[in-house]
């Protein structure tokens, strides 16, 4: 159906679709102080709006709303069809507590109660 529309109308619909998706998407990318909305995300990469984002490379932070969820190491980024497609080498989930140096027994007591 879209192949019968004039090019200007097709481009306008595509721009509106991207803008609407970026508004609804909670995922965003932060590089230093700069923040960019993520339009698409898959297992080894993501896409940003090419008009907003510069060429990216290196360690970046991914947020879902205000919650920090991932750190990604971008190794390649290239513009394709109005999007900046970034591929990452490493994706690490962010945890709010430090990792343990030992194996915690699941039946271990939670606390020690003293006699009064």
Correct CATH for 2-93 of 2.30.30, 1.20.1270, 2.40.10, 3.40.30: 2.40.10
Cβ count near 83 (within 10 Å):
18
Average pLDDT, the chain: 84
Tens of pLDDT along 63-108?
Answer: 998 899 999 999 998 988 888 999 999 998 898 887 778 888 888 8
Under DSSP, the state recorded for 16 is H
Q: What pLDDT does 102 receive?
A: 82
**Domain-wise residue ranges, the chain:** 2-93
For residue 18, with 0-12 CB atoms within 10 Å meaning exposed, 13-18 middle and 19 or more buried, which class applies?
Answer: buried
Which H helix or E strand runs over 60? strand 58-64
* Distances 100 to 103, 104, 105, 110 between C-alpha atoms, Å: 7, 8, 12, 15
How high is the pLDDT of residue 59? 92
Paired tokens of 32? 């230093």
Backbone Cα Rg of the chain? 21
């Amino acid at each position: 159906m879209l192949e019968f529309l004039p090019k200007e109308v097709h481009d306008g619909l595509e721009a509106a679709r991207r803008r609407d998706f970026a508004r609804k998407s909670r995922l965003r990318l932060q590089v230093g102080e700069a923040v960019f909305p993520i339009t698409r995300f898959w297992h080894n990469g993501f896409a940003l709006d090419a008009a907003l984002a510069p060429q990216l490379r290196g360690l970046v932070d991914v947020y879902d709303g205000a919650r920090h969820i991932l750190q990604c190491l971008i190794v390649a980024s290239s513009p394709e069809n109005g999007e900046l497609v970034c591929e990452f080498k490493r994706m690490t989930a962010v945890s709010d507590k430090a990792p343990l140096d030992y194996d915690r027994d699941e039946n271990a007591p939670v606390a020690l109660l003293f006699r009064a």
